Amino acid sequence: MKTNPYADAPRLPEGERVDPRALVGGGTRPIEIEIGPGRGGFVFERLAADPEVCMLGLEIRRKWATIVDQKLRERGCGDRARVFAEDAKSALPRFPEACARAVFVHFPDPWWKKKHHKRLVVTAELLTQVCRVLGSGGELFIQTDVSERATAYAALIALEPRLRALNPELGFAAENPFSARSPREHRAIADGLPIYRLHFRLQ
Ligand SMILES: C[S@@+](CC[C@H](N)C(=O)[O-])C[C@H]1O[C@@H](n2cnc3c(N)ncnc32)[C@H](O)[C@@H]1O
């Protein structure tokens, strides 16, 4: 019988409430959260860019959570960053208010047909949870190469009055200011695709 090689994927501790700050950095300082890190390139580049950063990734695919979390440990970063095999939609509500200083969502929702709508990651409910876990001054950064999705995200974010655009005059942000790129972002740049970047700060 075939066994699932990722049956032991890293999971968040059990319980109704989980403090992610205790899992990375071990302290009380706000951390950075990436939703759907996939192959994990952004986490590694972000840790290298800023030695102060502690990160937690929520990746629904057990395979990628297992591989990236293991690589983090092998590279000696396991105390600063972890990736857990979790659905961000059920994980974020378990986190305390104002535990994060940034939330990143890079290239979610690559499909945009109506039949895929129930799989969408960036929804009104998710944004409510993002606002809850972000402390005042915390940043939300979303990128996509699908223009319809970018417009839909902007419309959803407009319903959250505490999220203020960091570049209101430009609409979308021209660049990624975090000195780190996701794997899909690198590919989009190499392929010359347009990237729509939404960068907001919680008031
Ligand atoms: C298109 S990939 C982009 C991967 C990476 N962010 C990048 O930019 O290269 C979307 C990622 O989000 C993950 N994902 C989808 N729904 C999710 C959810 N509800 N919670 C956590 N991760 C999710 C997928 O498994 C996949 O790794």
Q: Flag whether pLDDT at 112 surpasses 70.
A: no
Give residue ranges with CB within 6 A of ligand 1. Answer: 35-38, 58-61, 64, 87-89, 106-108, 110, 121, 182-185
The whole-model pTM stands at 0.96
Ligand 1 atom at minimal distance to the Cα of residue 119: 16
CA of 109 to the centre of ligand 1 (A): 8
CA of 99 to the centre of ligand 1 (A): 22
**How confident is residue 118, by pLDDT bands cut at 50, 70 and 90?**
confident
Structure tokens that stand for 86 in this block:
């979790």
List the chain domain ranges.
20-202
Annotated catalytic residue, options 87, 109, 145, 191 = 109
Rounded distance, CA 68 to CA 39, Å? 7
**Which of helix, strand or coil describes residue 17?**
coil
**How confident is residue 26, by pLDDT bands cut at 50, 70 and 90?**
confident
What is the dotted CATH code of the domain comprising 20-202?
3.40.50.150
Q: Residue 23: left if φ>0, alpha if ψ -120 to 50, beta else—which one?
A: alpha
- Of the listed ranges 22-31, 46-55, 193-202, the one predicted with least confidence: 22-31
Among residues 88, 60, 53, 57, which one has the least CA distance to residue 70? 57
Beta-carbon neighbour count of residue 29 at 10 Å?
Answer: 13
**Angle formed by the axes of helices 62-74 and 41-49, to 10°?**
30
Ligand 1 atom at minimal distance to the Cα of residue 89: 19
